[in-house]
């Protein structure tokens, strides 16, 4: 039996073609996909495609679009063996993280990919990214999907989506997964790191479509003022703040700063401590500069990325309003997004 793969085109560089008349980039019609990538005709895969009515730049990505993608997957879940989501690279890590939380009990591959150059350009990286993403989405062993989680495939490497970070705007190798191993590498052969892959639990897919985006990011820097800190912590309707700290979770020990955090937490604002570093993790109390955080109720985010922290907070806040349950969920590894 041929594997069936559904392509979902949201927008982004990969789907752009140069209009000969205007000289501008414009989305190409996915009905002509095999004209642009004739290699797809050689696949022993049944391909189908759906596209957003109005493709969007990934810089305009919103939680409402994540919900739309999740519902597309839910609607077609029993019809296909895997999904490839074509997406702009700038916010791809946010979308991959969000989908990982929204698609509970996912037992099929959802592979996000894109490109740094439009697919209509001769030197595009989009062709290889798309072809291999489809191959991964269709791959099975003993009639079961090899991959059963939300991933990003880019420049010969497959990553767990909620572990990624876009670190380069110019190189084809645009993503990193500093705190978790690569899931697969594409060379002469496609080699899977089976020990790192999520295991399917066989349960029925459950889609969570409630996301609360009343959150903020407070990035620490030397010289940050009390006015700035308090403006963010006291912003109207803010329910949670991601505190991007130095090193292993450290920040200023000035009394006004600790007092401002405590006041916000006492009012019910959730504060999640995430490191600014690309690699490593938060260890509250390792140094004196983070010892006070534990006492006032700041939640340590371990090695979660900022992108995954944003998505996880939106998901958790949409799941429960109970403060203890929120803290429990944030400290738990829900979808392989953090090391406990």
> Is residue 336 assigned to a domain?
no
Beta-bridged to residue 144, according to DSSP, are 141
User: Given this model, what pLDDT does residue 44 score?
Assistant: 87
Contact 335, 234 (CB under 8 A): no
Which pair of tokens denotes residue 265?
Answer: 């937490």
Contact 293, 284 (CB under 8 A): yes
> Is residue 338 assigned to a domain?
no
Shared-domain flag, residues 201 and 314: no
User: Given this model, what pLDDT does residue 40 score?
Assistant: 78
Shared-domain flag, residues 140 and 66: yes
Shared-domain flag, residues 55 and 26: yes
Shared-domain flag, residues 166 and 256: no
Shared-domain flag, residues 237 and 202: no
Q: What residues make up the domain containing 272?
A: 215-331
Residues taking part in catalysis: 13
User: Given this model, what pLDDT does residue 54 score?
Assistant: 84
> Is residue 191 assigned to a domain?
yes
> Is residue 270 assigned to a domain?
yes
Q: What's the CATH code of the domain at 59?
A: 3.40.50.1170
User: Given this model, what pLDDT does residue 26 score?
Assistant: 67
Among the candidates 169, 188, 207, a domain finishes at 207
Shared-domain flag, residues 227 and 176: no
Shared-domain flag, residues 174 and 224: no
For the chain, the straight-line distance linking the first and the last C-alpha, in angstroms and rounded, comes to 40
User: Given this model, what pLDDT does residue 12 score?
Assistant: 80
> Is residue 197 assigned to a domain?
yes
Domain count, the chain: 2
Per-residue pLDDT of the chain (340 residues; tens, 9 = 90+): 799 999 999 988 777 766 667 877 666 666 666 677 778 778 889 999 898 888 888 899 999 999 999 999 999 999 999 999 999 999 999 999 999 999 999 999 999 999 888 777 788 888 899 999 999 999 999 999 999 999 999 999 999 999 999 999 889 889 999 999 999 999 999 999 999 999 989 899 999 999 999 999 999 999 999 999 999 999 999 999 999 999 999 999 999 999 999 999 999 999 999 999 999 999 998 888 888 999 999 999 999 999 999 999 999 999 999 999 999 999 999 999 999 9
Shared-domain flag, residues 151 and 200: yes
Contact 151, 132 (CB under 8 A): no
> Is residue 44 assigned to a domain?
yes
Shared-domain flag, residues 187 and 83: yes
Shared-domain flag, residues 244 and 192: no
Residue with tokens 């798309």: 130
Instruction: Count CA within 13 A, CB hemisphere, residue 335.
Output: 26
Shared-domain flag, residues 173 and 244: no
Among the candidates 207, 225, 247, a domain finishes at 207
Please report the beta strands in 124-200, taking only residues with DSSP state E, as ranges in sequence order: 140-141, 144-145, 150-154, 157-160, 165-166, 175-176, 184-186, 190-192
3-state secondary structure of 246: strand
Shared-domain flag, residues 197 and 231: no
Q: What's the CATH code of the domain at 300?
A: 3.40.50.40
């Amino acid at each position: 039996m041929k594997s069936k793969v559904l392509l979902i085109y949201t927008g982004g560089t990969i789907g752009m073609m140069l209009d000969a008349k205007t000289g501008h980039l414009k989305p190409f019609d996915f009905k002509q996909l095999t004209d642009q990538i004739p290699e797809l005709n050689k696949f022993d895969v049944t391909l189908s495609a759906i596209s957003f009515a109005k493709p969007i730049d990934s810089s305009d990505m919103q939680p409402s679009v994540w919900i739309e993608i999740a519902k597309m997957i839910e609607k077609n879940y029993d019809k296909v063996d895997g999904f490839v989501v074509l997406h702009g690279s700038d916010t791809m890590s946010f979308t991959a993280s969000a989908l990982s939380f929204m698609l509970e009990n996912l037992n099929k591959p959802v592979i996000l990919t894109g490109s740094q150059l439009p697919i209509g350009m001769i030197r595009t990286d989009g062709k290889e990214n798309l072809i291999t993403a489809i191959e991964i989405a269709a791959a099975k062993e003993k009639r079961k999907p090899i991959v059963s989680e939300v991933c990003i495939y880019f420049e010969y490497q497959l990553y767990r989506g909620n572990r990624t970070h876009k670190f380069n705007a110019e190189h084809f190798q645009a993503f990193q997964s500093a705190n978790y191993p690569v899931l697969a590498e594409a060379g002469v052969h496609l080699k899977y790191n089976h020990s790192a892959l999520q295991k399917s639990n066989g349960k029925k897919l459950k889609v969570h479509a409630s996301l609360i985006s009343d959150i903020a990011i407070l990035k620490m820097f030397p010289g940050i003022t009390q006015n700035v800190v308090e403006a963010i912590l006291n912003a109207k309707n803010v329910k949670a703040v991601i505190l991007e700290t130095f090193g292993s979770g450290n920040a200023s020990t000035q009394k006004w700063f600790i007092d401002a955090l405590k006041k916000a937490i006492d009012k019910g604002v959730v504060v999640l401590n995430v490191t600014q570093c690309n690699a490593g993790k938060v260890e509250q109390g390792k140094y004196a500069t983070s010892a006070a955080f534990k006492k006032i109720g700041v939640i340590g985010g371990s090695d979660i990325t900022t992108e995954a922290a944003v998505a996880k907070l939106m998901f958790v806040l949409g799941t429960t309003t109970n403060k203890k349950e929120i803290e429990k969920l944030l400290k738990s590894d829900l979808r392989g997004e953090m090391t406990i």
